Amino acid sequence: MKKLVFLVLAPFLILPFTVPAYAGTNCQSIYGGGDCDSGSLTVTKQVLQPDTTNTYVDNLGTTDPQYQPASPIYFKISVKNATSSIIQNITVNDTLDNSRAFVAFTYGPGRFDTTTKTLTYTINSLQPGTENTIIIAGRIVSAQELPAGQNPVCPINVVQVTTATLSTQAATEFCIQNTTASPTPTTIYTQTNQTQTKGGIPVEDTFPVYTPATGMSSTPKSGPELLPLLALLPTGGLGLWLRKKAKNKVL
């Protein structure tokens, strides 16, 4: 009986060591990793570094250059056949950002789904050792569309490559400078003591003064103060007449 049991169990003990390993057929890179190798297909996802024309990097973190609101953004996807055989019917799905809120699609090959913010295109055939590379263009949303109180905003762009037997994905992170997240008020001029003009108009703490005088029930003091000056007019005329009369007597 012991020998019979051994003979029955032996094939099951040997099986795990003789079956080909398929672990490489489903490769998922960590966010910001940039690329992933399934053993048959290699996919690389990169983002254009801001203020450059052709410098693509795997990842842009919070300490790296950041995109500005409403500025263009570009991604590069490279799919490579790492096998010795032709791979056919490769489907590429690229999601512009994982939040589906911060990047608008501009152009790229294939079909773009506005609801999922995903671009889908097909590589019909990829020869051994060759690579297929495409550029996807988008635009960052305006500052008013970015979340208040969050600066910077760092979405993640994810690409997934699949065939009949393989599934591979990679991702790249980038950050957007949110210029409206924490506005700081600026005081141009401040007066500490409030005073009042002769006309009764209060002087506000901050200039210019836009508040008109209201509720005035009496004539401002500037009116009666002119009466003594009017009284001087007859006195001045009398002085001129006396001076002229004295001059005629001398002659």
Read off the pLDDT band of 25 (50, 70, 90): very low
The type of residue at 242 is: L
What's the Rg (C-alpha) of the chain? 41
Homologous superfamily of 24-173: Mu homology domain, subdomain B (2.60.40.1170)
pTM over 0.75: no
Q: Which helix (H) or strand (E) holds 228?
A: helix 227-250
Domains of the chain, by residue range, sit at 24-173
pLDDT in tens, 150-183: 899 999 999 999 999 888 999 999 999 998 765 4
Q: Give the CA dihedral 53, 59, 65, 68, nearest 10 degrees.
A: 80
